[in-house]
Amino acid sequence: MRYLITGAKGQLATEFIKHFQQQSVEYFAFSKEELDITNFDTVYKTLKEIKPDVVINCAAYNLVDNAEKEPEKAYSINAVGPYNLALASKEIKAKFIHYSTDYVFDGTKEGLYTEEDTPNPLNEYGKSKLLGENLAKINENSLIFRVSWIYGEGKQNFLYKLLSWAKDNEVLKVAINEFSVPTSTSFIVDKTLKAINKELRGLYHLVPNGYASRYEWAKLILKNYGIKKIIIPVSKETFNLVAKRPSFSVLDSDKIQKGLNEVFEEWDEIFIRWCRTQ
């Protein structure tokens, strides 16, 4: 099996690359400088030359607040890019893997969000990701995963930001009214490859079981890193962020668990084990 990965410098691609190197799997990884996914001719030429069996799109514009100021860039990377990759993958008969977000939902549902629920994104980032999902379906052999609160080896995540804040502040204010599912890159890589092997296709929610508020996760982060700081729970509205965020965007992963014939662990069990490996 030959893989092609986009967004090579991001935290999810980094985890795929590490896994493939350990398993001696043939792969080709491209950063945004090396492969412009918004240019179809470039994408098609690259895929035609390499002829991968599976294309994994880890490229994304995930600066949620900035997307409100530069939506064209967000749509170009999160929607046009996936469309180009899906179409080129279809042309060479390759499977296409794409990742979306819990931010396609508005957070007003009383309960967990399933794949059957109607999306209603609150911000331009969520809208661009939803369009990317829909465009990726041009390849009937696409596998689209909605994920949330990703953490791994990288700086563009809540874990890194919280640890950075803790270095300079004795008191940390963290949102108590924003809920989702912290999800490790290693979890995503493991389940994605299992889904590929089982030849699954379509849309799935890919998160561990359980959920947490930003505040609850922050407390667990500092505890596992042995950092003693005062954490004050506050409303997310306190931060006056440019983009609106859903309050409760917890994804239900029952469909993918059934598809893989396994029961996922709770998010905190995975996180605590991950911390021990750092």
Q: Which residues are catalytic?
A: 125
Please provide residue 56's backbone torsions phi and psi, each rounded to the nearest 5 degrees.
-110, 115
**118: which residues sit within 8 A by CB, 6+ positions away?**
none
Q: Is 161 left (phi over 0), alpha (psi -120 to 50) or beta?
A: alpha
Residue type, 144: I
Q: Please give the Cα distance from 240 to 263 (Å, whole number).
A: 38
**98: which residues sit within 8 A by CB, 6+ positions away?**
57, 82, 85, 86, 132, 133, 136, 142, 143, 144, 145
Answer for the pair 85, 91: CB distance below 8 angstroms, yes or no: no
Q: Please give the Cα distance from 278 to 275 (Å, whole number).
A: 5
Residue 161 buriedness (CB in 10 A; 0-12 / 13-18 / 19+)? exposed
Q: Please give the Cα distance from 278 to 268 (Å, whole number).
A: 16
